[in-house]
Chains A and B, each alone.
Chain A
Amino acid sequence: MELDRLAAAEPNPVSIALTVNGVERRLDVPPTVTLLDLLRERLDLTGAKKGCDQGQCGACTVLVNGRRVNACLQLAVMNDGAEITTIEGVGQPDALHPLQEAFIAHDAFQCGYCTPGQICSALGMMSEGHAKTAAEIRELMSGNLCRCGAYGNIVDAIEDVMGRSAFKEAAE
């Protein structure tokens, strides 16, 4: 209903279908809408954050078809048919993902604003499988800035989860 109001005001909306956190959504979206703004302003999924809107901070990182990308640089209409996972789909307070738990245990955030992006990015990195050492984690997580300076704790949290064999098996 809110969506309709927003969509009706725009010329040439495009009909797309997205699966967001396992739920299929059919939407009419103007081409100017980024995936990030679609999530935040039209689907009320505000977990993915807007920190720069230019692909320069990583706060908006989500998984598109399992790959981590900057949602702020994706036009929503180009993601027709895609499966999107946002932080809300990773785990909720009553059923947190082990990585979310590790972030809490290692105090891997302060203000929390970059955190959803850090977690989604780390999940993407783990499934990519190219980070084996702390130095590689640091390099491959460098697309996620944290102004509170929680970097060391973030790496600890990721290493903690990567080091758990149960998680390794589940990931395979």
Chain B
Amino acid sequence: MSNVHPYVGRAKSRVDGPLKVSGLARYAAEFTAPDLAYAAAAPSAIAKGRITSLDVSAALAAPGVIEVLSHENKLAFPEDDEPFKNDMVAVPGSPFRPFRDDRIHYSGQAIALVVADTHENARHAATLVKATYDAETPNVDVAAASHYQPPEPRDGIPPTPEPRGDAAGAFAGAPIKVSADYRVVAEHHNPMELQATTVVWEGDGRLLVHNKTQGVVNPKNYICSVFELDAEKVRFVSPFVGGAFGMALRPHYDVFLAVMASLKLERSIRLVLTRGQMFTMGWRPDCLQTVSFGADAGGRLTSIQHHAIQATSHYEDYQEPIVNWSGFLYDCDNVALKYELGKIDTPTPSDMRAPGATTGVFALECAMDELAYAAQVDPVELRLMNYSDRDKNDDKPFSSKELREAYRLGAERFGWSKRSPEPRSMLEGRELIGYGMATGCWEAMTMPHKARATLTADGKLEVACATADIGTGTYTILAQIGADALGLDIADVTSKVGDTALPMAPVEGGSWAAASAGSAVKDACETLKAELLNHARGIDGSPLANAALDHVVFANGRIALAADPSKAVSFAEILKGAGRDALDADGGYEPDKDFAKTYAGYTHAACFVEVRVDEDLGVVRLARVVSAVAAGKILNPLTARSQILGGVVMGCGMALHEETLWDKTLGRVMNASLGEYHVPAHADIPDIDVIFVDEEDGSNPLGVKGLGEIGIVGTAAAVANAIFHATGKRVRELPITIDKLL
């Protein structure tokens, strides 16, 4: 068995695969209880104003209805904001709370919650809730809102960098100038799983909550805080998450209302939102951007100016690092960056896959392509010419940056050298061929995590952390790390996540889970090993009596002397000797603050895209994508590749399909369905080639930088740049639909 090690760094199919392919993996809406009742939320018909009357009599009289809750008969909750800010992902402002009062903040806001004996009866009765409103005129267009710099910065994101040099002056004097406006439109995450909560009422105020979340600890803390519950009586268990991409970072109204109903009725409740209601919560906000470059005659940047205006809600100042990337991705001494918000009548936006970078780098990388044409330099060459070896935003060196190699390997695999630079110069049949590329970048972050490793007498190891596996492969990489640490076959290792009874983890986001939870598990395993050796040494006549950790090998269910493997003690003997059925050890990970002070940590990618565009009809077809990624150590190339594929596919959707369409008069999302909000389908996605560039990084014990977001950053720009190369049309507002190419 020892020949399978190390697992880390090698492809391993998902340990949770058999459950997922056989339908046995249970998601939040799939737990049941004998006293389960079904809830359905009735939505507001207006986007802004007040409810003047709410008539729930017909709903209450409908078959099977148990209760109808609203702002008029809610379970009391605190008036002040603070309890609702017990949310790791809260942003400055006053958090939304359902049923607070008669005020409507956005279209589709829940105005009542019907609880009935069956799903069908709840759905039926929800349609019988009647409201009248005092409606005000909504504005859902950020361009029509007044703009301001957020007075209170959002915690956990880098601030907008101060200007350096004289960007305006350098621009004015530059021989080559490029300046353009870009618009990234509103998008919704649309994970396949509907937002849902099942609350199991266990009696005596005890709640077992299954909630779709990217980290069980966060909604538990929030729920205990807002309903003033004893944390000992509340447990959140969410072993599987059907995709999230950021939308399940913050607690949503499903968990709030389901818990409220459960507490009020003292019974178990299931609330599954509809696909339409998935458009009544977090979203990637609309963003207007202007990027201006000054360059010398050869294309070397002398000035970078990037201004972004992004949408947020009226009640909170959601913020993203949109413009920051323009301050360090390329080497330039004259930089001016500005970030503003505009308030509109929608729910507060939320982080969606690489928030900030996806939006900002789109504009930056399209502008680089425009500069490449203005300076008549190859786009890859232009990026190499302006390559930055230092993060000038914070004046720090990079912890590692193998972006040059990513450009080289990506271009080589793609066949970039076959590109003829002139737009419309490559044609096959009626299709114009376009090659485009762009750079991607994302912050390499880690967060404090705790973990536990438990070895049982049968030689099985369990590694546990409250983090989530939202499809990223966390279960698998934690098992790989545990198996390597104790020299076990991975079949003898179980990983557990998604349970507040497990050691603490923050939300799973920002691409930090693998590095952080993985390091915590590794730490717990190292402690467990020391403890095992300690017990082994204490056994009467132990062959390891004088052995130190670096003189022994953990393999084949034993600890053996490295110098003489015949001298060994089995794990079973150790536990027997210790008089224990199981031994466990706690571990943890804290970000290395000194390292972070010294170095800037980022993942990078080079994305190359070939498009085919029908010369008359504007039909765009993606032909192939190559994404070369430098992201430190790759724990599992199989699942790692899938993460990049996922990011690239979402980037393709952003480039070509995805747009949330509001009726500007009604303030209402009009394409709130998967039939009309188009995410890419099988037929849209070509072969995608993923390259992982070797990169050594010292920011954490695993050398991992994270992969969940980097795949999307730059992809939409690469597609847009390829379309320009194919057609000569520079489309600066996404998505690039057929009408924009006619």
Contact = CB atoms under 8 A, between A and B. Distances in A.
A115 B14 CA distance: 14
A14 to B, nearest CB: 13
A105 interface: yes
A48 interface: yes
A41 B122 CA distance: 13
A82 interface: no
Contacts of A110: 243, 471-473, 639, 642-643, 646
Nearest to B23: A47
Chain B interface size, under 10 / 10 to 19 / 20 to 34 / 35 or more = 35 or more
A57 B245 CA distance: 18
A149 B23 contact: no
B275 A149 contact: no
Contacts of B24: 47, 88, 92-93
Given A2-B34, A33-B120, A107 B192 contact: no
A153 B682 contact: no
Contacts of A155: 682
A51 B194 contact: yes
Secondary structure call for the A interface: loop
Contacts of A146: 192, 682
Contacts of A86: 23
Contacts of A48: 23
A155 B384 CA distance: 36
B300 interface: no
A147 B190 contact: yes
Secondary structure call for the B interface: loop
Contacts of A5: 117
Contact of B646 (A49, A92, A114, A150): A150
Interface residues of A, number: 67
Contact of A46 (B30, B38, B245, B473): B30
A50 B23 contact: no
Interface stretch (B332-340, B662-670, B671-679): B671-679
B121 A51 contact: no
B471 A148 contact: yes
A124 interface: no
A87 interface: yes
Interface stretch (B95-103, B393-401, B416-424, B647-655): B647-655
A104 B687 CA distance: 19
B33 to A, nearest CB: 10
17 contacts: A9-B63, A9-B64, A10-B64, A46-B23, A46-B27, A51-B674, A52-B275, A87-B23, A88-B23, A104-B14, A109-B17, A110-B471, A110-B639, A110-B642, A111-B470, A148-B192, A148-B642
Interface of A: 2, 5-6, 9-11, 30, 32-33, 37, 40-41, 44-57, 59, 86-88, 90-93, 96, 100-101, 103-105, 107, 109-116, 119, 137-139, 141-142, 144-155
Interface of B: 13-14, 16-27, 29-30, 32, 34, 38, 63-64, 117-121, 124, 189-194, 240-245, 272, 274-275, 470-473, 638-639, 641-643, 645-650, 673-675, 679-683, 685, 687-688
Interchain residue pairs A-B with the least CB separation, the first 10: A47-B23, A149-B649, A113-B242, A111-B471, A112-B20, A110-B471, A87-B23, A93-B18, A104-B17, A149-B646
